[in-house]
Chain A
Amino acid sequence: MDVFWFFDWLDTSLLADISKAYGGVFAVVQMFHLLGLALMGGSVLLSDLRFLGVVMTDVPSKVVFDNTQKLFTLALVVLVLSGIFMASAVALKLYYNEAFWAKMAGLGLGILFVYLIRKPLFTRFDHDSISPAAVKVAALCSLTIWFTVAASGRWIGFS
């Protein structure tokens, strides 16, 4: 499936008119992208490090998970919206950028992982009933996926 049409459309859309013409607006939206990154990274790190038994071990993992999952979803919405705006400024360039597609692959995988596996697992089941090894594997997968997404995202700027 070729999605070139989407990038072609985005490149000449109203969003692109704004993002290309006003560097200041772009920078402010990028600030929200970075704040979203901090919030998402914070919630992923906190919950995964709790599952790995590194931080907040005296607070039940269920409490940590429920609280961070809400922040995660909020951060994801902020990141995707600000991300689409940022992409509109360089839509065609991104279409041919490997780091961008690495990030999109990681992002797609991450969203599927969170909402099809991680969230159902830790919301529907009592955390004590899940094998400790499975909990740790899930935490390591989550950390790896989201770190890859963030790092390849940063690399778009260098490539």
Chain B
Amino acid sequence: MLNEWLLAFARWLDGFSWSTQLHESFYMYAWIESTHVLTLMVFLGMLFIIDLRMLGFAFTGVPASTIAERLDLPMKIGMTIMVLTGFVLFFAIPVRSTQSIWFRMKVILMIGAIVNALIFRRKMLAAKGSAWDRDAKMPGDLRVGAGLSLGLWSAIVITGRTIAYDWYDCFQKLPYFMYWAAGCVDEMAALDRQGG
């Protein structure tokens, strides 16, 4: 059911002339895509430095809360640009993205990363004034959060990159489960008819 709804939503977006124009314009699409990718340097760059500080690999001489607080704004600026350009990229190619197993994995991983960030953030804010704020290595739960953050964002980068590959696109011959996971509604129906 969800697959049908998502596909209907994607087809509705696809009906806008702006969507097609964006997709077909060489420079505009390339500029937005480049902005999305290059903003990795601002968003993930800051995030990595915060995570590496928590793990005791960088800026060990500076209190952890100072790093987290000072880099918060640049990180959020980068995040805002990535989210906005990400939505525009999705709007330009809605149907194929909705039916991309990689895009779906990326969205699930992002939800995981957001949940982790919210938990991690609360603990990090508690660091200020604590006895261990100046320690090179943070307490175990903060290190787990930082490690998870690095792992999840690495996975988000790779799934983001692999959206461009057509290995598991709907037009490929795939098992039923893969069609379901990618939301290839029509292909599932075709297999159902064959089976029935």
Tell me the minimal C-beta distance from A98 to chain B in angstroms.
15
With a cutoff of 8 Å between Cβ atoms, the chain A residues found around residue B38 in the complex are 41, 147, 150-151, 154
For window 46-64 of B, CB contacts with A under 8 Å fall at 46-49, 52, 58-59, 61-62
Instruction: Bin chain A's interface residue count.
Output: 20 to 34
Query: Is the Cβ of B70 less than 8 Å from the Cβ of A41?
Result: no
State in angstroms the CA–CA spacing of A42 and B50 once bound together: 10
Tell me the minimal C-beta distance from B103 to chain A in angstroms.
14
Query: Is the Cβ of A59 less than 8 Å from the Cβ of B62?
Result: yes
With a cutoff of 8 Å between Cβ atoms, the chain B residues found around residue A97 in the complex are none
Complex partner residue of A27 from B41, B43, B59, B162, CB under 8 angstroms: B162
CB of B154 closer than 8 Å to a CB of A = yes
State in angstroms the CA–CA spacing of A27 and B33 once bound together: 17
Query: Is the Cβ of A71 less than 8 Å from the Cβ of B49?
Result: yes
State in angstroms the CA–CA spacing of A129 and B48 once bound together: 31
* B-binding segment of A2-10, A12-20, A43-51: A43-51
For window 27-43 of A, CB contacts with B under 8 Å fall at 27-28, 30-31, 34-35, 37-43
- Per the CB 8 Å criterion, the residue count for chain B at the interface is 33
Closest residue of B by beta carbon distance from A159: B30
CB of A125 closer than 8 Å to a CB of B = no
Query: Is the Cβ of B41 less than 8 Å from the Cβ of A55?
Result: no
CB of A132 closer than 8 Å to a CB of B = no
CB of A70 closer than 8 Å to a CB of B = yes
Query: Is the Cβ of B161 less than 8 Å from the Cβ of A71?
Result: no
Closest residue of B by beta carbon distance from A30: B161
Complex partner residue of B66 from A41, A58, A154, CB under 8 angstroms: A58
With a cutoff of 8 Å between Cβ atoms, the chain B residues found around residue A123 in the complex are none
Complex partner residue of A43 from B34, B49, B73, B167, CB under 8 angstroms: B49
Complex partner residue of A42 from B26, B30, B45, B165, CB under 8 angstroms: B45
For window 134-148 of A, CB contacts with B under 8 Å fall at 147
With a cutoff of 8 Å between Cβ atoms, the chain A residues found around residue B73 in the complex are 55
Tell me the minimal C-beta distance from A120 to chain B in angstroms.
22
Most chain B beta carbons < 10 A, residue from A59, A68, A70: A59
Query: Is the Cβ of B41 less than 8 Å from the Cβ of A42?
Result: yes
For window 149-183 of B, CB contacts with A under 8 Å fall at 154, 157-158, 161-162, 165, 167
CB of B71 closer than 8 Å to a CB of A = yes
Query: Is the Cβ of A154 less than 8 Å from the Cβ of B37?
Result: yes
Given A40-B41, A45-B45, A58-B66, answer yes or no on A71-B157 (Cβ-Cβ < 8 Å).
Answer: no
CB of B144 closer than 8 Å to a CB of A = no
With a cutoff of 8 Å between Cβ atoms, the chain B residues found around residue A46 in the complex are 45-46, 49, 71, 74
CB of A96 closer than 8 Å to a CB of B = no
Query: Is the Cβ of B45 less than 8 Å from the Cβ of A38?
Result: yes
Q: Which 5 A-B pairs have the closest CB atoms?
A: A42-B45, A41-B41, A38-B44, A31-B158, A56-B70
Residues of B that sit less than 8 Å from A by CB: 26, 30, 33-34, 37-38, 40-49, 52, 58-59, 61-62, 66, 70-71, 73-74, 154, 157-158, 161-162, 165, 167
